Amino acid sequence: MFALFSTAMIGVLGLATDLGFAFAQRRAMQNAADMGAVSGARIVARWSITTPTLAAKPDVDAMASANGMASSVSTVTACNYVTYAGDTAGPCSLPVPATARGVSVTVQETHSTFFMQAVPGTPDSISTSATATAQVQLLKDPPADGPFIICGFDTYLAANGNQRLSILLDNDTVNPAV
């Protein structure tokens, strides 16, 4: 009876270990896809009339591989520029099109199973993938409505030597003198 139950327990332990590792890989693939999309969106943000030849693919590949799990190699299987509506504006291997407002990235990784290979009929490898999209918000009236983020408590801006000006007049109003 012990042999029967221990075989079942070892099988469940093997399944739990393999699935646990697959879920960890899935989280790592999501991190890799997120960072790839953010780095691609940075390239889209840097696009301008003076630098129209920038392509996002090299940065996307570098960030995706740097942010996966160290035990496996993550591969970017899809990288496309996207519009605000989410429509594809072309592959990331080409220069940024003028209509691009972000990047959509899909990352995949395949790894071998540990214990489940011993069970006949079970897969000897598992693939995980993740997709992420990052977009750039264009300014309506540059530079007046430029990105402005205030972090912290009791935040001040030093100006004119020892004079300190408050960045915020109240919770919702930025001091125009700053």
Residue 95's nearest CA partner among 63, 57, 123 is 57
The full set of domain ranges for the chain reads 2-136, 148-178
> Is residue 92 very low, low, confident or very high in pLDDT (cuts 50, 70, 90)?
very high
95-133 confidence digits (pLDDT tens) = 988 888 889 998 888 877 777 777 777 777 777 778 888
Structure-model confidence comparison of residues 137 and 17, the more confident one: 17
- Res. 70: pLDDT tops 90: no
- Res. 12: pLDDT tops 90: no
DSSP 41: H
Q: Which residues pair with 174 in a beta bridge?
A: 168
Question: Percent of the chain at pLDDT above 70?
Answer: 70
- Res. 135: pLDDT tops 90: no
